[in-house]
């Protein structure tokens, strides 16, 4: 058991004396423009700084404006003096602003950064197809769209490239975004996982233990996924076009709409 903020958190990365609120690491603007809490940024930083072997390649889905996960991954890599981050963002205006923000916030870190414009499924496939056979991704952070199937698709594309000891974190693990990936990965016996209770949105942590899962655990994971996908609200949202889902959500009372779109 390791400790984080004086609580037992199992396999979570240990913290150094690094403090996310140090003036040089997080500015007031960072806090306003990013979408992660200070605790979550601290955790991501710690996972990179304290990895037994320093991550050489990292990939994140969903940079938003860059002040949150992207900036903190880059700063941690800069502190490690090794590592390169691929950051995928699907919205053009956000992507452009993010590239500019990163260049200004961390000119040194920006040299370790390849921004990738596009939707994660296509962007990841294209990126992987351009890499040499030995390409490996040591650190993954998934924080893109709210459709829970996206994190499953991203995981399935990336998992073969994550070496044993590699880490995968995902955000909004307690919300709809993470409702498929979390139980799916928890069922696979070649990953150890944790979901500490410090983050309301839920920051999920997984570390790869063996190259492949046993066939029994893979079957269990697939069964769990099918079961979750067949839940009425998930089945309906998978069938209906997204514009119709949005209209339906707008017509529902606010509380009900929020519980359908946001929560597990």
Ligand X SMILES: C[S@@+](CC[C@H](N)C(=O)[O-])C[C@H]1O[C@@H](n2cnc3c(N)ncnc32)[C@H](O)[C@@H]1O
Euclidean distance between CA atoms 35 and 21, whole angstroms:
15
Residues 217 and 211 sit within 8 Å (Cβ to Cβ): no
Within 10 Å of residue 236's Cβ, how many Cβ atoms?
13
64 scored as a contact of ligand X (CB under 6 A): yes
Please give the backbone phi and psi of residue 61, each rounded to the nearest 5 degrees, phi first. Answer: -110, 125
Residues 28 to 57 in contact with ligand X, rule: CB under 6 A:
34-36
* Closest to 196 (Cα-Cα) out of 18, 20, 39: 39
Q: Which of residues 124-143 bind ligand X (CB under 6 A)?
A: 143
Residues 154-213 that bind ligand X (CB under 6 A): none
CB of 198 to ligand X, least distance (A): 16
**Does the footprint of ligand X cover residue 87 (CB under 6 A)?**
no
Copy the structure tokens of residue 163. 């070496």
Q: What is the dihedral of CA 18, 24, 29, 33, to 10 degrees?
A: -40
Q: What span, in angstroms and rounded, lies between the C-alpha atoms of 191 and 185?
A: 7
Q: Does 145 bind ligand X (CB under 6 A)?
A: yes
- Contact string (CB under 6 A) for ligand X, positions 212-231, x = contact: --------------------
Residue from 13, 20, 55, 62 touching ligand X (CB under 6 A): that is: 62
- Range 93-122, binding ligand X (CB under 6 A): 94, 119-120
Looking up tokens 């949202």, which residue turns up?
Answer: 237
Our CB check for ligand X shows the closer of 90 and 220 to be 90
The residue among 69 and 187 lying less far from ligand X, judged by its C-beta, is 69
Closer by beta carbon to ligand X, 53 or else 96? 96
Nearer Cβ to ligand X, position 53 or 114? 114
For residues 242-253, b (16+ Cβ closer than 10 Å) or e, as one string? eeebeeeeeeee
69/106 with CB nearer ligand X: 69
Does residue 4 interact with ligand X by CB under 6 A? Answer: no
CA distances for 174 relative to 29, 138, 165, 167, 246, angstroms: 26, 24, 24, 19, 21
Q: For ligand X, which stretch binds (CB under 6 A), given 20-28, 82-90, 211-219, 246-254?
A: 82-90
Q: Distance between CA atoms of 37 and 171, rounded to whole angstroms?
A: 11
Binds ligand X (CB under 6 A): choice among 48, 58, 73, 90: 90
Site size for ligand X (CB under 6 A): 20
Choice from 91, 201, 248, 260 touching ligand X (CB under 6 A): 91
> How far apart are the C-alpha atoms of 27 and 72, rounded to whole Å?
12
Question: Where does this chain bind ligand X (CB under 6 A)?
Answer: 34-36, 61-64, 68-69, 88-91, 94, 119-120, 143-145, 150
């Amino acid at each position: 058991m390791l400790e984080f903020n004086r609580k037992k958190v199992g396999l979570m990365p240990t913290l150094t004396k690094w403090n996310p609120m140090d003036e040089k690491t997080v500015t007031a603007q960072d806090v306003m423009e990013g979408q992660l809490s200070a605790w979550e940024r601290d955790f991501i930083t710690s996972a990179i700084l304290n990895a037994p072997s320093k991550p050489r390649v990292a990939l994140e889905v969903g940079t938003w404006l860059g002040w949150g996960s992207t900036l903190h991954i880059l700063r941690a890599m800069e502190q490690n003096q090794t590592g390169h981050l691929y950051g995928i963002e699907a919205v053009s205006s956000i992507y452009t602003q993010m590239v500019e923000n990163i260049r200004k916030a961390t000119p040194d870190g920006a040299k370790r950064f390849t921004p990738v414009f596009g939707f994660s499924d296509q962007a990841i496939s294209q990126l992987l197809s351009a890499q040499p056979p030995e390409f490996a991704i040591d650190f993954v952070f998934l924080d893109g769209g709210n459709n829970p199937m996206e994190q499953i698709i991203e995981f399935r594309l990336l998992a073969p490239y994550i070496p044993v000891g590699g880490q995968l974190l995902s955000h909004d693990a307690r919300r709809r975004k993470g409702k498929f990936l979390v139980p799916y990965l928890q069922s696979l016996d070649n990953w150890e996982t944790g979901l500490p209770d410090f983050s309301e949105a839920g920051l999920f942590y997984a570390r790869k233990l063996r190259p492949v899962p046993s066939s029994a655990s893979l079957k269990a994971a697939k069964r769990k996924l099918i079961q979750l996908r067949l839940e009425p609200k998930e089945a309906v949202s998978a069938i209906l076009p997204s514009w119709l889902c949005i209209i339906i959500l707008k017509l529902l009372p606010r509380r009900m709409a929020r519980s359908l779109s946001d929560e597990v």
